[in-house]
Amino acid sequence: MTELPSKEARDAVHKTIASCGRIEYQTLGKSILGEPIYLYRVGRGKRNILYASAHHGSEYLTAMHLFSLLLDIAEGSESISGELFDEFSLFFIPCVNPDGVDIALSGFRPSPLYERQLEMSGAENPEKWKANARGVDLNHNYPYGFAEYKAIEAARGTVEGATLYSGEYPVSEPETRAVMRPTLAVDLSLVVSLHSAGEEIFYAPKGQDVGMLADRIAGMLGYKVSTPTGTACFGGLCDYTGYTLGIPSLTLETGRGENPLPISEFFREREVIRQALLTLPTLLPKGDL
């Protein structure tokens, strides 16, 4: 994928992927405004890896990275070894938050939530919108540290809007529920969540083996391994999968600059991120971490 992931572009890419015969797919659910949230599967191996991106609307370049890799696989790129898919099954959720991506790319469109969105945004530029259509930051809506985060929200006066509001209760949003389905139904060896920006990696749960995996992929990408602080410590996908479910989990903060990043950042990192995502499964030890 070499164009911004508008609804039209996403639909076209999905059609190509779904018709190639190499990739299975299913609809995990729908967004607040009815957009499908797809899960794609490549391979029939017994070890399962989950990649997810675009939790935040303004971080839509992360969706481009997963869609681009899926298109390479769909088109039978000779640079991708078929042996990888004998041992591993790779699961992709390229666009967790399609409504948020559409807001960040095109602004607020007519919908039952249009007036509410205008009110929530205030003077906020829609290009910086991270939340879903209802004003919930999906990467604070998972069931980990929710009560602690609610105390932070109360102290900060955080309300529904472009970012940081966690929702009325854990897993209140259909997008979060959609992503949680494969984390509970599939025996996962690794979860990787793509965000932007900062060129750093967070990992969970804390432990030498998961830390070593983070160090190796950070060295490959030229990133640094960091420890999240403040609001970044609660309610994220990798907080939930790492600490609640005990699945080794990595958060990749891709790109440099301030969101939304220019498309040039996608092209600058495209090849190294593609290679990292294909290499990550092979870095896992034969036994569980």
Lowest mean pLDDT among 27-31, 118-122, 215-219, 252-256: 118-122
Residue 133 per-residue DSSP state: T
**Average pLDDT over the chain, rounded to whole?**
95
Q: How many helices (DSSP H) and strands (DSSP E) are in the chain?
A: 10, 8
How many CA atoms does the CB half-sphere of 182 hold within 13 Å? 28
- pLDDT reported for residue 82: 82
Place of tokens 């410590």: 233
* Separation between Cα atoms, residue 18 and residue 13, nearest integer Å: 9
Task: Say if CB 49 and CB 91 are below 8 A apart.
Answer: yes
Judge whether residue 78 has pLDDT over 80: no
User: Which strands form 36-42's sheet, in the order they lie side by side?
Assistant: 24-30, 36-42, 88-93, 47-53, 188-196, 249-254, 200-204, 224-225
Q: Is 228 exposed, middle or buried (0-12, 13-18, 19+ CB in 10 A)?
A: middle
- pLDDT reported for residue 245: 97
Judge whether residue 77 has pLDDT over 60: yes
Residue 262 per-residue DSSP state: P
SS3 41: strand
- pLDDT reported for residue 29: 98
Judge whether residue 30 has pLDDT over 90: yes
The mean per-residue pLDDT over the stretch 253-276 comes to 97
Task: Say if CB 221 and CB 274 are below 8 A apart.
Answer: no
- pLDDT reported for residue 80: 85
Total Cβ atoms within 10 A of residue 76: 11
At residue 288 the predicted structure's pLDDT band, cuts being 50, 70 and 90, is low
Give the bridge partners for 201, in sequence order.
225, 252
- pLDDT reported for residue 287: 64
- pLDDT reported for residue 195: 98
> Which sign does the torsion angle of CA 52, 279, 274, 196 carry?
positive
Write the DSSP assignment of 240-257 as a string of letters.
IIIIIS---EEEEEESSS
Q: Is the peptide bond before 12 cis (omega within 30 degrees of 0)?
A: no
- pLDDT reported for residue 208: 82
Task: Say if CB 129 and CB 224 are below 8 A apart.
Answer: no
Per-residue pLDDT tens for 89-139?
A: 999 999 999 999 999 999 999 999 999 999 998 756 799 999 999 999 999
The mean per-residue pLDDT over the stretch 259-274 comes to 97
Residue 183 per-residue DSSP state: H
Judge whether residue 47 has pLDDT over 80: yes
Judge whether residue 44 has pLDDT over 70: yes
Structural domains in the chain, sorted by start: 7-283 (3.40.630.10)
Specify the pairing of strand 88-93 against strand 200-204: unpaired
- pLDDT reported for residue 79: 78
Per-residue pLDDT tens for 196-224?
A: 999 999 999 988 899 999 999 999 999 99
Give the bridge partners for 42, in sequence order.
90
